[in-house]
């Protein structure tokens, strides 16, 4: 027959609209975990180790740990973000047999990339003893491995065993440091921390393998994802740099400790900020739950109904429900987080007295609380955007955060102590405003994006 | 460059081999004094590979991927896009319900005014999505939006790609089917003012109807609705498809100076789709009578029945094999040769062989595989064709030229070939027997009758030979097209709208 016949048959198969996006959503969670881990373990180790050693040793220990947390997060981000994506796809396809291989491949890549970076840093840049450098490098790689493992354990969503793994590891650290600090001082305490991390890593690996009891195969199958999802890899670096860039800049401030090790810190700024971040912990937990229930239900219904031959008016109604659920969650969040932040600000002096914190930090801390209020709101938007797989936009928004945080911090830095922390705060506000405008603009046109701009079958 | 004839082809020559393609290939070769442009509509993502060596008088090949609009870097403002879509919606909706050339012309002008645009505006912009939603709301607002979406993109994407592609310059345009090719024909007529011609082998809308009717993905929630009244009132997505194609056909019939088919039977379907009976023509395909009529015939030997064709379900060989049981009972020494490739549908071939074994017909029915037709045409007494669907089977004519009568099912032009067209003068008499579809007993009886009644057989043999000689010579077909092309080429430029408008009263 003349005429093109196979168009119809081809059409029938083109029904792959539905979101595998939901599987990606947890990648947004990944970005919050490390922060919590950093702050909590720093706090608890400082507290515990303080009982066995001198203030000087402890501050040198904190110095190495902060550098390790900060840079391992940034440098290993491309690996763990891409692994996240790969794992999410595998889970969505219900084809998780490659997970043990992925874990091995990811670990190999982490070691392969982080070892030279950390070595270069500690041997050539930092002015510290070879022994300490070696211990620091080991610790650096272990922390990187924790970032990677957090991808897998977040997917399992067994938070209890995660807590157990970290608790056991850190407890073991505390015990061993009591012995090692006497023998090797700073190196001892650092190695004790590393030993604890080793235990945590082992427990987490065991948990992952228990969940995915398959043979190791094709460990580097995920490498192709670097090309396909380069935006994801880049966003990982950008996001994590953005969260740290104000600290990096402030470490150069005249008030910083200018340590001869070249590993500068500005303890007043750092601990003020860390303390400020604590203000977002409670609402984050609540908030993730509200995303998981309200929003996710509306989201699923939107896509499922399309697949199940919904009419446009039904699709529009579902679309509205998505918007409503976002608005509702935002409102609740705003109220709760607003109240908490307010309490953190108003009670600042009480906290400072209670924890024995230097009063110098109080203004930085207040800007930190305000900034983290907006940062966590932005995080909410990021989670929503990741549900819709807006990779480019996500990358752009992270870029904006990085640049504005760097620029504003730099400016506030040049205005002197009174303005420290303002840069971070303003960057958070700006990123939040742009992100929310983008999100609402995007969601307003959700049907269009669903059917055309993000539909792989179109084009 | 201006060529004499632009052939508008959809999914066929020169990329896909088949009946229409070889017909086109011959047409071009037989008109060596004319130059041709091939305007080929191909499916999106189609890999171009020539299936024919294009003759030298083809001067230009234009290839357009249907639905795959080019992506252009047009900088059309949001306001302008919105206005374009608002202007488009009226004529687009009318094209499905009540198509008119005025609307088509308006569409073409609208699209031209915006300048160089592609899918970034027409199908992939937020404004185009709004247009889609509005069209949905105005027509099928309770059907599956997802299915509507894909249907819209397919149908409108096809429409746009045919309307915005460059128009090759030719002195006349000849489409080889309706559908998108027919739509393009209408556009070419409007834009160039040059005369147009349409040849249909199968009837496009009819074939689409079958295809759309069996497309399961179009099953709507509505069609599950058992309330008959509602179903009758509400339109379904299937109607969206079929009405669009009928609309395109109607436009093609309106602009074509003549709409040609292979046999009378098709006319009814064309008239149903809105063709003007006055301008319908039948030009059957012809064969090389001289060459076939010289093939010597077998003398005596076992009575032999031949089947020529692929061993596939549409040829309904099982009916033939079942009919052979009747034949064997009456004429035990009879032979049945099945000549044609068997590898296309191996499973079906196996089933046929089992059926032969089951009927104890191993000595009667023989599968010869693919044969040289000219070598075998003289070696059997009777041709049998049990197809469920045919247009104009040339093999009846080829056998007829040799003097072999045929038994055929009542499909396509078979009855016209065997019994003559209604206006045949003088009447030449039957050249065989026409049987109902899928009736082993009728086929069996017909075989027994023709092989048994010497006189009837000779009459049929003479009649079919005379009919082929008189009406189905290749020269006649070539001459008819040559004459038609000459007429078209001599015509002055016309204002299509005025011309069609003037013709309209006769159509009502």
If asked whether residues A205 and A282 sit together in one domain, one would say no
Q: What are phi and psi of B444, to 5 degrees?
A: -60, -50
User: Domain coordinates of chain B in residue numbers?
Assistant: 2-70+167-286+481-507, 78-151, 290-471
Q: Of A228, A262, A294, which residue is a domain's last?
A: A228
**What distance, in Å, lies between the first and last C-alpha atoms of chain B?**
40
Residue B228, pLDDT > 80, answer: no
Of the residues B146, B156, B177, B203, the best mutation for testing chain A's interface (the one with the most A CB atoms within 10 Å of its CB) is: B146
Please give the mean pLDDT across all residues of chain B. 89
- Give me the pLDDT at residue A387, please: 79
Average pLDDT for B290-297 = 93
Using CA atoms, how far residue B53 sits from A133, A325, B7, B25, in Å, is: 74, 63, 16, 9
Note whether A87 and A215 are same-domain residues: yes
Contacts of A313 in chain B (CB under 8 A): 141
Predicted confidence (pLDDT) at residue B503 exceeds the cutoff of 80? no
Query: Are the C-beta atoms of B451 and B382 separated by less than 8 Å?
Result: yes
Q: For residue A267, give the nearest of A185, A360, A346 by alpha carbon.
A: A360
In a domain, A236, yes or no: no
- CB pair distance less than 8 Å for B124 and A453: yes
Alpha helix segments (H runs only) across B139-203: 145-164, 179-192
The answer to whether position A456 is within a domain reads no
Q: How many Å apart are CA A189 and CA A168, to the nearest integer?
A: 17
Closest residue, chain B, to A4 (C-alpha): B11
User: Which of A2, A5, A309 lies closest to B144 in CB terms?
Assistant: A309
- The minimum CA-CA distance between A448 and chain B, rounded to whole Å, is 6
Reported pTM: 0.77
Are A82 and A154 members of one domain? yes
B144, closest residue in chain A (CA to CA): A309
* Among the partner residues A4, A12, A451, nearest to B129 by beta-carbon distance: A451
Residue in chain B closest to A457 (alpha carbons) equals B150
Task: Classify residue A255: in a domain, yes or no.
Answer: no
pLDDT at residue B450, as a whole number: 95
- What pLDDT does residue B16 have? 81
Tell me the pLDDT tens digit for each residue of A180-215: 877 788 898 889 889 999 999 999 999 999 999 998
Confidence of residue B358 (pLDDT cuts 50, 70, 90): very high
Domain with A37, as residue range(s), is 2-228
B145:A311 CB<8 A: yes
Cβ count near B188 (within 10 Å): 26
What is B2-70+167-286+481-507's CATH number? 3.40.50.2000
DSSP string, B388-414: S--S--HHHHHHHHHT--EEEES-TTH
Cα distances (angstroms) measured from residue B121 to each of A447, B131, B353? 17, 11, 57
> Which residue has tokens 């105005």?
B138
User: Is A458 close to B124, i.e. CB distance below 8 A?
Assistant: yes
Q: Do A2 and B216 touch (CB under 8 A)?
A: no
| Pairing between β-strand B365-369 and β-strand B335-339 as defined by DSSP bridges | parallel
Q: Within chain A, which residues score under 50 in pLDDT? A: 1-31
Average of per-residue pLDDT across B366-379: 91
A306 contacts B217? CB cut-off 8 A: no
> How many residue contacts between A and B have a Cβ separation below 8 Å?
100
Exposed / middle / buried, residue A394 (Cβ in 10 Å: 0-12, 13-18, 19+)? buried
Is the residue at A430 inside a domain?
A: yes
Who among A2, A9, A445 is closest to B11 (CB)?
A: A2
Q: For domain B290-471, give the fold.
A: Rossmann fold (3.40.50)
For residue A453, the chain B residues in CB contact (below 8 A) are 124
DSSP A328-341: HHHHHHHHHHHHHH
Each residue's pLDDT tens digit, A396-411: 999 999 999 999 999 9
| B20 contact residues in A (CB cutoff 8 A) | 1-2
Cα–Cα distance for residue pair B31/B487, rounded to 1 Å? 14
Side by side, the strands of the sheet bearing B335-339 are B365-369, B335-339, B304-308, B382-385, B406-409, B432-435
Residues A220 and A285 in one domain: no
Output the pLDDT for position A79.
Answer: 94
Contact assignment for B129 to A15 by CB distance below 8 Å: no
CA A105 to chain B, closest CA, distance in angstroms equals 37
> Are B2-70+167-286+481-507 and B290-471 the same fold in CATH?
yes
Are the beta carbons of B126 and A12 separated by less than 8 Å? no
Q: Are residues A55 and A168 in the same domain?
A: yes
Q: Both A212 and A281 in a single domain? A: no
Over the stretch B164-208, which tens digit does the pLDDT of each residue have? 888 999 999 999 999 999 999 999 999 999 999 999 988 888 878
- B38-42, B95-99, B400-404: lowest mean pLDDT where? B95-99
* ipTM of the shown complex: 0.75
Task: Considering only the beta carbons, identify the residue of A3, A7, A453 that sits closest to B154.
Answer: A7
Rounded CA-CA distance B471/B484 in Å is 18
* Strand residues in B201-262 grouped as ranges (E): 256-261
**What would the mean pLDDT of B459-475 be, rounded to a whole number?**
95
What confidence tier does B221 reach under pLDDT thresholds 50, 70, 90? low
Q: Determine the pLDDT at residue A104.
A: 94
* pLDDT at position B368: 94
What pLDDT, on the 0 to 100 scale, is given for residue A154? Answer: 78
DSSP three-state, residue A50: coil
Number of domains observed in the structure of chain A: 2
Scan for tokens 């569409």, then name that residue.
Answer: B107
Return the pLDDT at A282: 72
Same domain, A46 and A119: yes
Q: Which residues of B touch A311 (CB under 8 A)?
A: 141-145
The closest of A364, A316, A448 to B85, measured between CA atoms, is A448
Q: Which of A168, A196, A228 is a domain's end point? A: A228
State the pLDDT at residue A161: 82
Q: Give the pLDDT mean for B316-324.
A: 95
Question: What is the nearest CA distance from B445 to chain A, expressed in angstroms?
Answer: 33
Look at A74-78, A255-259, B215-219, B444-448 and tell me which has the smallest mean pLDDT.
B215-219
CA distance B398 to chain A (A): 22
Is the bond preceding residue B14 a cis peptide, omega within 30 degrees? yes
Residues in A whose CB is inside 8 Å of some CB of B read 1-9, 11-12, 14-15, 17, 306-307, 309-315, 445, 447-448, 451-453, 458-459
């Amino acid at each position: 027959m003349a005429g093109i016949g196979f168009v119809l048959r081809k059409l029938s198969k083109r029904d792959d609209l539905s979101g595998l996006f939901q599987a990606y959503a947890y990648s947004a969670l990944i970005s919050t975990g490390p922060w919590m881990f950093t702050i909590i373990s720093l706090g608890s180790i400082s507290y515990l180790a303080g009982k066995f050693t001198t203030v000087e040793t402890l501050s040198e220990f904190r110095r190495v740990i902060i550098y390790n947390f900060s840079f391992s997060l940034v440098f290993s981000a491309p690996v763990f973000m891409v692994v996240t994506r790969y794992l999410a796809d595998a889970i969505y396809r219900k084809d998780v047999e490659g997970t043990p291989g992925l874990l091995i491949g990811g670990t190999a890549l982490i070691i392969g990339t982080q070892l030279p970076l950390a070595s270069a840093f500690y041997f050539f840049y930092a002015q510290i003893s070879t022994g300490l450098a070696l211990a620091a490098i080991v610790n650096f790689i272990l922390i990187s491995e924790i970032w990677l493992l957090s991808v897998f354990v977040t997917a399992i969503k067994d938070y209890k065993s995660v807590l157990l793994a970290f608790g056991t590891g850190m407890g073991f650290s505390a015990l061993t440091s009591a012995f090692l600090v006497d023998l090797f001082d700073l190196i001892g305490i650092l190695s004790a921390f590393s030993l604890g991390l080793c235990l945590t890593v082992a427990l987490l690996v065991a948990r992952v393998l228990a969940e995915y009891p398959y043979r190791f195969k094709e460990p580097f199958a995920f490498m192709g994802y670097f090309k396909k999802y380069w935006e994801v890899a880049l966003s990982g670096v950008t996001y994590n740099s953005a969260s740290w860039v104000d600290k990096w800049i402030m470490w150069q401030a005249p008030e910083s400790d200018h340590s001869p090790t070249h590993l500068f810190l500005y303890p007043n700024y750092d601990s003020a900020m860390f303390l400020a971040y604590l203000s977002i912990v409670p609402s984050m937990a609540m908030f993730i739950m509200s995303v998981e229930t309200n929003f996710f239900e509306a989201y699923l219904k939107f896509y499922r109904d399309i697949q199940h031959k919904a009419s446009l008016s039904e699709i529009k109604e579902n679309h509205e429900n998505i918007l409503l659920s976002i608005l509702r969650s935002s409102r609740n969040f705003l109220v709760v987080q607003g109240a908490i932040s307010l309490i953190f600000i108003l009670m600042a002096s009480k906290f400072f007295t209670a924890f024995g914190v230097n009063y110098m930090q109080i203004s930085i801390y207040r800007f930190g609380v305000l900034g983290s209020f907006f940062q966590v709101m932005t995080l909410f938007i990021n989670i929503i955007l990741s549900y819709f797989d807006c990779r480019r936009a996500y990358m752009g928004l992270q870029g904006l955060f990085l640049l504005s945080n760097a620029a504003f911090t730099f400016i506030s830095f040049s205005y002197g102590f009174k303005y420290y922390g303002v840069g971070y705060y303003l960057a958070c506000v700006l990123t939040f405003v742009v992100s929310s405008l983008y999100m609402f603009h995007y969601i307003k046109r959700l049907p269009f994006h669903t059917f055309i701009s993000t539909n792989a079958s179109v084009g | 460059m201006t060529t004499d004839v632009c052939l508008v082809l959809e999914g066929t020559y020169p990329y896909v081999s088949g009946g229409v393609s070889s017909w086109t290939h011959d047409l071009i070769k037989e008109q060596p004094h004319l130059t041709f442009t091939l305007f080929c509509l191909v499916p999106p993502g189609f890999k171009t590979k020539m299936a024919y060596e294009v003759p030298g008088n083809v001067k230009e090949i234009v290839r357009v991927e249907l639905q795959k609009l080019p992506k252009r870097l047009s900088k059309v403002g949001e306001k302008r896009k919105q206005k374009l879509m608002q202007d488009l919606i009226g004529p687009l909706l009318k094209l499905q319900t009540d198509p008119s050339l005025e609307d088509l012309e308006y569409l073409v002008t609208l699209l031209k005014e915006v300048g160089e645009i592609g899918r970034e505006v027409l199908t992939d912009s937020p404004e185009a999505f709004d247009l889609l939603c509005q069209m949905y709301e105005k027509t099928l607002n309770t059907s599956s939006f997802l299915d509507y979406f894909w249907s819209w993109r397919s149908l409108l994407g096809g429409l746009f790609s045919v309307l915005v592609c460059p128009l090759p310059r030719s002195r006349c345009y000849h489409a080889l089917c309706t559908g998108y090719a027919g739509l393009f024909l209408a556009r070419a007529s409007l834009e160039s003012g040059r005369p147009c011609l349409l040849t249909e082998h199968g009837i496009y809308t009819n074939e689409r109807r079958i295809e759309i009717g069996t497309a399961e993905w179009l099953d709507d929630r509505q069609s599950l609705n058992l309330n008959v009244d509602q179903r009758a009132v509400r339109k379904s997505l299937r109607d969206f498809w079929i009405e669009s194609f009928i609309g395109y056909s109607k436009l093609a019939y309106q602009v074509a100076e003549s709409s040609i088919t292979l046999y009378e039977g098709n006319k009814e379907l064309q008239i149903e789709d809105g063709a003007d009976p006055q301008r319908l023509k039948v030009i059957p395909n012809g064969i090389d009578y001289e060459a076939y009529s010289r093939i010597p015939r077998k003398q005596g030997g076992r009575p032999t029945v031949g089947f020529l064709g692929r061993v596939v379900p549409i040829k309904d060989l099982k009916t033939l094999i079942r009919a052979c049981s009747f034949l064997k009972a009456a004429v035990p020494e009879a032979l049945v040769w099945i000549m044609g490739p068997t590898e296309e549908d191996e499973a079906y071939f196996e089933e046929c062989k089992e059926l032969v074994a089951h009927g104890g017909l191993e000595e009667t029915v023989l599968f010869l595989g693919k044969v040289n037709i000219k070598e075998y045409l003289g070696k059997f007494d009777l041709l049998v064709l049990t197809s469920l669907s045919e247009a104009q089977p040339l093999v009846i004519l080829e056998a007829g030229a040799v003097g072999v009568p045929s038994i055929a099912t009542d499909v396509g032009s078979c009855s016209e070939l065997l019994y003559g067209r209604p206006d045949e003068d003088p009447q030449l008499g039957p050249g065989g027997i026409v049987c109902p579809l899928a009736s082993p007993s009728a086929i069996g009886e017909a075989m027994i009758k023709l092989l048994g009644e010497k006189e009837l057989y000779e009459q049929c043999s003479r009649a079919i030979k005379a009919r082929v000689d008189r009406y189905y010579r290749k020269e006649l077909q070539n001459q008819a097209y040559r004459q038609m092309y000459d007429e078209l080429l001599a015509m002055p430029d016309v204002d299509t709208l005025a011309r069609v408008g003037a013709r309209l009263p006769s159509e009502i």
